Amino acid sequence: MASHKPKSPHKAPNPVKNEPKQFFDLIVGNAIDFFDTSIKDFEKRPKYSVINFCSGLELILKARLLLEHWSMILKSPDKADLIKFQSGDFLSVTVVEIIDRLTKICNETFSPDETKCFGRLRDHRNKMVHFCHDAYSKKPDHKLLEEIAAEQCMAWCYLHRRLKGDWSKHFQKHRQAIEGINEALHAHRVFLNTKYSTLKPEIDKEISVGSEYRTCFACGFPSARVSEIQEPVHEAECRVCGTRGSFLRVACPTCSKLSDIDDVGSGSCEDETCGVEITLDDVMQEYVPPYDPKDENPASYYCAACEHPEQSATILGDRYFCFWCHEWFDCTEQCGFCGEHLVGFDPDESGFTGCFMCCIAAREHFDKD
């Protein structure tokens, strides 16, 4: 007969294994609550809108980090104490630290524009908490609301792109609430109308002499000025809300129609009857220079910045570009262990630690000795 140990009435089942998911949902629920409050307060109490919006953003980023391990959202993970964590008694990470950990530990990439945008939001919140400006205490004027609307449209756009894209599998349960915030934030665009109307004559004039504008994905106005950085990389910068982003303008490999691809992970041909998916492979085939046996170095590279598991970077003009994470690099480096050429890579110590492609092999090799 199998003997059962009597259960201690004081000992809870080991919480470590199941808790993170539970904390995740709690934190996301709180984040959604902060965003809702921020939206409600926007017109009448902009100070609270700024503070709560920033808290919402911080909590979403923390929730993502928590999926790695609950101790990751503590200021010092080495002093992690689950009991204190469960009771909410801990010092947590700042936005800058969250972005740093998400980049280094969770392999997420943040563009400089996105990092700056989140940083500005945090600075603005800190100002509101410590030294609230006069403009916020009296009846808020239009100019002030316009600035906050632009700031929130931009930050939400970056965050929503993640929540809809790579992170959607984690946030599935909260999808409806997230889309609710997205729709409610569209109302902010009304506050940017005046700015758009003021700029419109200038934009029209520029278009008449050949400039190109596209719809801004953050504020929705046709006010994002397009410029070619280096074929096929283009950049669009919005004159209303300031959001900047890059995209690829490539010929469809099936029907040759020029199509704008924001993301090679999910971009497709703009021709309605064609509509085929345009993949990283298609773009690499088109833009990686043909192999030259005289040349010692290869022309396509792995990217250590985003650690995409396929080669995703090549030389464009006099710099290197990763089609996956849209980052530019000045040089390539070689892994000291496997000899692979990479962009965004620090070769120091790589003879022992390897690169992201070979690190397991490197570790096993040196552990053997």
State the residues that interact with Zn ion by CB under 5 A: 216, 218-219, 238, 240-241, 243, 252, 254-255, 257, 269, 271, 274, 303, 305-306, 322, 324-325, 335, 337-338, 340, 354-355, 358
With respect to Zn ion, which residue has the nearer C-beta, 42 or 213? 213
In the three-class reduction of DSSP (H, G, I as helix; E, B as strand; rest coil), residue 338 is classed as: coil
Residues 120, 121, 123: CA angle, nearest 5 degrees? 60
With respect to Zn ion, which residue has the nearer C-beta, 264 or 305? 305
Q: How far is CA 262 from CA 16, 124, 165, 280, 325, in A?
A: 39, 29, 12, 12, 11
Distance between CA atoms of residues 253 and 248, nearest Å:
14
322 close to 303: Cβ distance less than 8 angstroms: yes
* Smallest distance from Zn ion to CB 305, Å: 5
Number of H helices, E strands in the chain: 13, 11
* Smallest distance from Zn ion to CB 11, Å: 46
Overall residue count recorded for the chain in this entry: 369
**Rama region for 107: left / alpha / beta (φ>0; ψ in -120 to 50; rest):** left
Q: DSSP for 262-328?
A: S-TTT-B-S-TTT--B--HHHHHHHHSPPP-TT-SS-SEEEETTT--SS--EEEETTEEEETTT--E
* Smallest distance from Zn ion to CB 359, Å: 7
With respect to Zn ion, which residue has the nearer C-beta, 20 or 220? 220
Strands 300-303 and 341-343: parallel
* Smallest distance from Zn ion to CB 103, Å: 12
With respect to Zn ion, which residue has the nearer C-beta, 77 or 222? 222
With respect to Zn ion, which residue has the nearer C-beta, 38 or 311? 311
* Smallest distance from Zn ion to CB 311, Å: 10
Tokens of 344: 């965004």
With respect to Zn ion, which residue has the nearer C-beta, 38 or 223? 223
* Smallest distance from Zn ion to CB 127, Å: 23
* Smallest distance from Zn ion to CB 287, Å: 14
Adjacency order of strands within the sheet including 313-316 = 328-329, 319-322, 313-316, 300-303, 341-343, 332-334
With respect to Zn ion, which residue has the nearer C-beta, 47 or 195? 195
